[in-house]
């Protein structure tokens, strides 16, 4: 009989509770649905989940709930099939900061290269990036800290939009509950869509929230700051989606060179002007598809995407679906 698929979740004090318990529950339910227990029954190996901390002691999560560790980081030996790196965000009067646990970061540098599949949850991407493991890859994280991830790690291509991103054997996902979506996608990879579908039904989850689905509403993605020229421009852009929003036009509006404007915009938002404009227009189109009876030509025009062809291209590229399929699913 094959042994169960071993999942280790690295945790530290202050971690988001659902970063750990959410994926753990997905793997647990998948195991029970398959009727495998810890590898018995149908012959399809299930999952065995362990929590690892630096000293092996319990950790107090951000919610105050304490979790008991199964082992220390140094005791994570033998075969590990999947490593998940949980995250934490600290919010105070100065803004939002990802929590960086040095012991976890140092351990990741040594451990991750030998593990077939590693995924970060929420701000856990900052830990992987600090360990140099995301260099040259595209990654995502909670939209609140995406700009910070891009600024701190310029060798990482940060896409703040998707629910999760897979880059080879490294996966990253957005905020908190998206760890469950990523775990469900991993179940699909391991056992196929039938088991993933059954697991989602038992958990009353949305059956397949695709990785390309947007994690946030674009106009609210970056907190507003009074007197910030880029922020004021961003608000104006959201109100004028049908106008010329090319980098040249936007830079001219702020009386800046295109190069300087693009650099400032990326530093402030974590993305390029062109990508932001497309996301904003796509968000408008999504809302119109969900909330109105308008046809696709009108939606394309009102959202600033221009034509039905552009509308289709944007949906396929960013969401992996068509406008009609999106309307059927989310209305």
Print pLDDT tens along the chain (331 aa). 678 999 999 999 999 999 999 999 999 999 999 885 443 334 557 999 999 999 999 999 999 999 999 999 999 988 999 999 999 998 876 678 899 999 999 999 999 999 999 999 999 999 999 999 999 999 999 988 888 999 999 999 998 878 899 999 999 999 888 999 999 999 989 998 888 888 988 987 755 455 555 554 455 445 555 567 888 898 899 889 999 999 999 999 999 999 999 999 988 877 899 988 998 898 899 889 988 999 999 999 999 999 999 999 988 887 777 899 878 766 6
Domain segments of the chain as ranges: 5-203, 219-330
Q: What is the structure's pLDDT at 215?
A: 53
Q: What is the pLDDT of residues 86-121, one digit of tens each?
A: 999 988 766 788 999 999 999 999 999 999 999 999
What CATH code is assigned to 219-330?
1.10.10.60
Alpha carbon distance 79, 266 (integer Å)? 40
> Look-up: residue for tokens 């109100």?
239
Alpha carbon distance 265, 276 (integer Å)? 10
Q: What is the structure's pLDDT at 40?
A: 34
CATH architecture entry for 5-203: 3-Layer(aba) Sandwich (3.40)
Q: What is the structure's pLDDT at 43?
A: 52
Q: What is the structure's pLDDT at 94?
A: 65
Q: What is the pLDDT of residues 23-39, one digit of tens each?
A: 999 999 999 998 854 43
DSSP code for 162? B
Q: Establish how many alpha carbons lie within 13 A of residue 314's alpha carbon, considering only the half-sphere containing its beta carbon.
A: 27
Q: What is the structure's pLDDT at 143?
A: 82
For β-strands 164-167 and 170-173, DSSP reports them as antiparallel
- 197 CB burial (10 A radius; 0-12, 13-18, 19+): middle
> Look-up: residue for tokens 């679906």?
321
Q: What is the structure's pLDDT at 271?
A: 83
In which element (H, E) is residue 71 found? Answer: strand 71-72
Alpha carbon distance 109, 321 (integer Å)? 37
Q: Which residues contact 164 (CB under 8 A, 6 or more apart)?
A: 119, 140, 171, 172, 173, 174, 178, 181, 182, 185, 211
Alpha carbon distance 135, 128 (integer Å)? 9
- Residue 84, token pair as written in the block: 């998940």
């Amino acid at each position: 009989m094959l042994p169960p698929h071993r999942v280790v979740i690295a945790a530290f004090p202050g971690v988001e509770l659902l970063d750990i318990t959410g994926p753990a529950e997905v793997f647990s339910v998948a195991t029970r649905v398959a009727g495998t227990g810890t590898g018995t029954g149908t012959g399809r190996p299930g999952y065995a989940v362990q929590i690892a901390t630096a000293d092996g002691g319990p950790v107090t999560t951000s919610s105050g709930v304490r979790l008991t560790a199964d082992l220390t980081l140094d005791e994570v030996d033998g075969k590990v099939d999947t490593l998940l790196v949980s995250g934490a965000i600290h919010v105070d009067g100065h803004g939002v900061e990802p929590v960086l646990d040095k012991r976890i970061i140092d351990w990741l540098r040594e451990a991750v290269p030998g593990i077939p599949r590693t995924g970060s949850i929420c701000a856990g991407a900052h830990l992987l990036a600090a360990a140099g493991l995301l260099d040259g890859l595209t990654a995502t994280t909670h939209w609140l800290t995406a700009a910070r991830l891009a600024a701190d790690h310029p060798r990482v291509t940060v896409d703040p939009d998707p629910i999760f991103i897979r880059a080879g054997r490294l996966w990253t996902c957005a905020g908190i509950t998206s760890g469950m979506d990523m775990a469900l996608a991993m179940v699909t990879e391991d056992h196929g869509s039938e088991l993933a579908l059954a697991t989602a039904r038992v958990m009353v989850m949305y059956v397949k929230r695709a990785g390309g689905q947007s994690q946030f509403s674009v106009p609210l993605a970056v907190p507003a700051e009074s007197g910030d020229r880029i922020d004021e421009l961003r608000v104006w852009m959201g109100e004028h989606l049908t106008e010329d929003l090319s980098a040249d036009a936007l830079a001219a509006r702020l009386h800046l060179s295109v190069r300087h404007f693009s650099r400032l915009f990326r530093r402030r938002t974590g993305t390029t002007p062109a990508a932001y404009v497309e996301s904003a227009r796509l968000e408008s189109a999504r809302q119109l598809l969900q909330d109105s009876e308008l046809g696709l030509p009108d939606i394309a025009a009102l959202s600033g995407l221009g034509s039905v062809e552009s509308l289709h291209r944007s949906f396929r590229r960013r969401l992996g679906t068509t406008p009609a399929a999106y309307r059927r699913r989310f209305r």
